[in-house]
């Protein structure tokens, strides 16, 4: 009897491994929550470097410009008012930011993402 292939579940996962190109910038929201804005530069083989904006609510201590980090999160495009017009920004909203030097923590994060991908089909 033929089987019907499983339909993949919707999934929005971003994984970056790169270098902080500048120091994190903390921003306090009207709610009082603090978000940290990061710029992660990723170099893949012979391709031009990509710099990806990342925001996170939690930031490991000691992370500064030049730090190598692993970022796991989701891609988001947000819209906001800029003067009299509407602007947008695409960024990664990080669930986890882990310095790559913390190998055990980085490994656990990668294993967790791999499991999510398998479960999503």
- Per-residue pLDDT reduced to its tens digit, 6-21: 666 788 989 999 999 9
- Per-residue pLDDT reduced to its tens digit, 12-66: 989 999 999 999 999 999 999 999 999 999 998 889 999 999 999 999 999 999 9
Domain ranges of the chain: 14-120
Residues 6 or more apart whose CB falls under 8 angstroms from that of 51 comprise: 21, 39, 40, 41, 42
Q: Are 52 and 38 in contact (CB under 8 A)?
A: no
User: The domain 14-120: what is its CATH number?
Assistant: 2.40.50.140
């Amino acid at each position: 009897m033929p089987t019907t292939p499983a339909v993949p579940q919707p999934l929005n996962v971003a994984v970056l491994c790169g270098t902080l190109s500048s120091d994190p910038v903390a921003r306090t929201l009207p709610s009082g929550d603090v978000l940290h804005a990061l710029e992660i530069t990723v170099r893949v083989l012979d391709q031009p470097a990509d710099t990806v904006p990342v925001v996170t609510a939690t930031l490991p201590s000691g992370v500064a410009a030049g730090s190598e980090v692993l970022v796991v999160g989701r891609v988001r495009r947000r819209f906001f008012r800029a003067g009299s017009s509407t602007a947008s920004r695409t960024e990664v909203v990080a669930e986890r930011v882990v310095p790559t030097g913390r190998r055990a923590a980085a490994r656990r994060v990668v294993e967790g993402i791999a499991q999510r991908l398998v479960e999503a089909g």
